Amino acid sequence: MARNVRKKCFTLVELLLVVIIMGVLAAMVIPRLTGRSQEARRGVAIADVKINIPTALKLYELDNGAFPSTEEGLDALMNEVPSAKRWKGPYVEKKPIDPWGNSYQYRCPGTHRVDYDLYSLGRDGVESSDDAANWQD
């Protein structure tokens, strides 16, 4: 009877081997997944600065004859500002925040484009190569 019990149990060596294999697999997979989340965040930021927010800015400009000034910023898309002649907003449902929790940067007139510059400071929160901007290809 003792023999049957012994056959149904795992030895400590077998358990350690399984734990080591699982650790090796996790070490190979987890870094790949974390890199993908940053790529996805950057993709969302690019879509926001090239499609989503510009659509709201164009509607604002059609209604009011000009884009909001730098001082008015993107808040003008949510709240009527004194310079808005025929404000029909809100043009966005909530304040535009990038995937890293920071406000999008807006400058009108722009320094990179004639109409306006719109960009995210990216993961690091400072102007650098990881920024997503409406003037980049």
| Exposed / middle / buried, residue 49 (Cβ in 10 Å: 0-12, 13-18, 19+) | buried
What is d(CA 37, CA 30) in angstroms, rounded to the nearest whole number?
11
Read off the pTM: 0.72
Give me the pLDDT at residue 31, please: 66
Q: How many CB atoms lie within 10 A of CB 90?
A: 14
Predicted local confidence at residue 22, as pLDDT: 84
Q: Is 79 helix (H, G, I), strand (E, B) or coil?
A: coil
Tell me the residue range of the domain where 95 lies: 43-133
Tell me if 9 is assigned to some domain. Answer: no
We report the CATH number of the domain holding residue 82 as: 3.30.700.10
Q: How far is CA 36 from CA 40, 41, 107, 132, in A?
A: 6, 9, 30, 16
Number of domains in the chain: 1
Q: What is the pLDDT of residues 21-64, one digit of tens each?
A: 888 887 777 766 666 777 888 899 999 999 999 999 999 999 99
Contact present, 115 and 134 (Cβ < 8 Å): no
